[in-house]
Amino acid sequence: MFYWFFMNKPEVCVIIVNYGTADLAIAAVNSVLTQAANAHAVHIHVVDNASPGDDAAMLKAAHAKPAWSDQVTLHLEEVNHGFGGGNNVVLQHYAKNGALPDKVFLLNPDAVLDNNAIEILATFLDDTPSAGFAGAGISKPDGTAVTAAFRFPNAIAEFSQSLSFGPVASLLKRWHVPLSPAHPRGKVDWVSGAAVMARGEALQDVDFFDPIFFLYYEEVDLMRQASKKGWETWYVPVAKVIHTEGTATGLRSGEKERRRKPAYWYHSWQYYYRKNHGRLAAMVAAIGYLAGMVGQNIISVLRGRQTTSPLNGVRDFWQLAMLPILRRQQTDG
C-alpha cells in the first residue's frame, strides 16, 4: 500500500491519526498543505483507525482531489491501534524499508497550523543536534494559550492534582506536571503529542511508541525513554498550532462537567508508573492519587459543593489502576 513513499523518504513526515473526526483531519491536512513552501521536503500520512461511520469514505474522497494525491498517503486500518499504534503504522513501514525520515511531525486530527510550525520546528532540530523532540505552542480556537510543556509525572503531583485544593496546590506547585501556558522556549521534560516534531533517529532509538499504551501517557513515556538515551525535549512556542482539545477522546482539561474517565486512561496511568518507576513507586503514586481524590470529595461535602473528581473515580481507580499494581498484572491495555 503506497510503498513508493516509503522507499523515497521525505525530510519531514507528517502523521495524522484519525478516529471519528474525518472533517477535522481533512482541515488538519489542508493546514499543512497551505504551508508547503519551505526548505524541507514534506509528505503527509493520514491513518484512519477503523473509524465508525463514513470517515473512510470522506477521507478517500479528499484524497482523490489533486491537492492531496501527490502529497498525502492514506492508510485505512481495519482495527483501532490507538494513538501510538496508529503512528507506528507509518513509522514501522518506513523503518522496514530502511527509509525513516529525518524528522517526524505528529499532528492531532483536531489541530491546525497557525503559522509555518513545521518549518520552524524542523529548522530548530537542524540547529540543535541534542534535541530529539521539539513541541509547538498550542492555543484554543479563541486564541487562549494552553499548556503544551510539562514536567514528568510524580507522586506529589498526583496527590495535589486529585486533591484540587488551592492552598495545597500552591504549596506543592514546584512539583506540578503542567508548566505555564506562557512558558518560554527551553528544555522541558515532555511536550504535548498534539503537535510535536521528533527526530527520526530518536524515535528509532526507543523503538517507536510502546504499543501497550492505547491512549494517554504514550508520548510521556516516549520522551522519557528518549531522555534515557540522551535526547533532549524542547518547547518552541514560536511554532504555533490551534487545537480543539478532546474532540476525539471526549476528555478536556478544566471542564466543569463531571465525566467518567475511560478504562484505557487508568490502564495507561498504572502501566506508565510501573514501567518507568517500578511497582513500589507506582503504588506510592496510586496511594497519593487515591488519597487526594478522597480528600477532595470530603472537602467538597464540607463546603457544600459538588466534587470535581471524575465520575465514579475512586472505584474506577481502585479497580483499574490500583489492583493491577497490587496483583503485579502487566495490563491488558
From first CA to last CA, the distance across the chain in angstroms is: 28
pLDDT of residue 254: 53
Q: What is the CATH number of the domain that holds 71?
A: 3.90.550.10
Residue 178 lies in a domain: no
Place of cell 523503518: 95
Q: Could you say which DSSP state residue 169 is in? A: H
pLDDT of residue 99: 86
What is the rounded CA–CA span in Å between residue 104 and residue 12?
Answer: 6
pLDDT of residue 36: 62
9 & 90 share domain: yes
222 & 302 share domain: no
The beta strands (E) that lie in 69-173 are given as 72-76, 103-107, 111-113, 131-139, 145-146, 149-150
User: How far from 89 is each of 15, 74, 160, 267, 282, CA to CA, in Å?
Assistant: 10, 11, 37, 22, 30
Q: Could you say which DSSP state residue 194 is in? A: T
Q: Are 46 and 74 in contact (CB under 8 A)?
A: yes
Number of domains in the chain: 2
Half-sphere exposure at residue 74, Cβ-oriented, CA atoms within 13 angstroms: 20
CB count in 10 Å sphere of residue 319:
13
Domain that holds residue 66: 3-147+183-243
Residue 15 lies in a domain: yes
Residue 83 lies in a domain: yes
- State phi, psi for 105 to the nearest 5 degrees: -105, 120
Residue 172 lies in a domain: no
From 214, 243, 272, the end of a domain falls on 243
274 & 208 share domain: no
What is the rounded CA–CA span in Å between residue 293 and residue 295?
Answer: 5
Place of cell 470517515: 55
Residue 162 lies in a domain: no
Residue 166 lies in a domain: no
Residue 275 lies in a domain: yes
22 & 114 share domain: yes
197 & 297 share domain: no
Element (H, E) at 195: strand 195-199
What is the rounded CA–CA span in Å between residue 207 and residue 200?
Answer: 10
Residue 229 lies in a domain: yes
8 & 46 share domain: yes
pLDDT of residue 4: 46
Q: Annotate 41-80 with b (16+ C-beta within 10 A) or e (fewer).
A: ebbbbbbbbebeeebbebbeebbeeeebeebbbbbbbeeb
What is the rounded CA–CA span in Å between residue 42 and residue 121?
Answer: 13
238 & 269 share domain: no
142-151 per-position pLDDT tens digit: 999 999 999 9
240-280 per-position pLDDT tens digit: 999 997 655 555 555 567 789 999 999 999 999 999 999 99
Q: What is the pLDDT along the chain (333 residues), one digit of tens a residue?
A: 444 455 556 799 999 999 999 999 999 999 999 986 677 889 999 999 999 999 999 999 999 999 898 899 999 999 999 999 999 999 999 999 888 999 999 999 999 999 999 999 999 999 999 999 999 999 999 999 999 999 999 999 999 999 999 999 999 999 999 999 999 999 999 999 999 999 999 999 999 999 999 999 999 999 999 999 999 999 999 999 999 976 555 555 555 677 899 999 999 999 999 999 999 999 999 999 999 999 999 999 999 988 889 999 999 999 999 999 998 755 444
267 & 199 share domain: no
133 & 272 share domain: no
pLDDT of residue 158: 97
238 & 272 share domain: no
pLDDT of residue 333: 41
Q: Are 12 and 84 in contact (CB under 8 A)?
A: no
Q: Are 119 and 40 in contact (CB under 8 A)?
A: yes
User: How far from 240 is each of 149, 254, 291, CA to CA, in Å?
Assistant: 13, 21, 38
pLDDT of residue 10: 78
From 213, 243, 273, the end of a domain falls on 243
143 & 206 share domain: yes
Residue whose C-alpha is closest to residue 269's, from 177, 191, 189, 204? 177
Q: Are 137 and 131 in contact (CB under 8 A)?
A: no
What is the rounded CA–CA span in Å between residue 291 and residue 286?
Answer: 8
37 & 109 share domain: yes
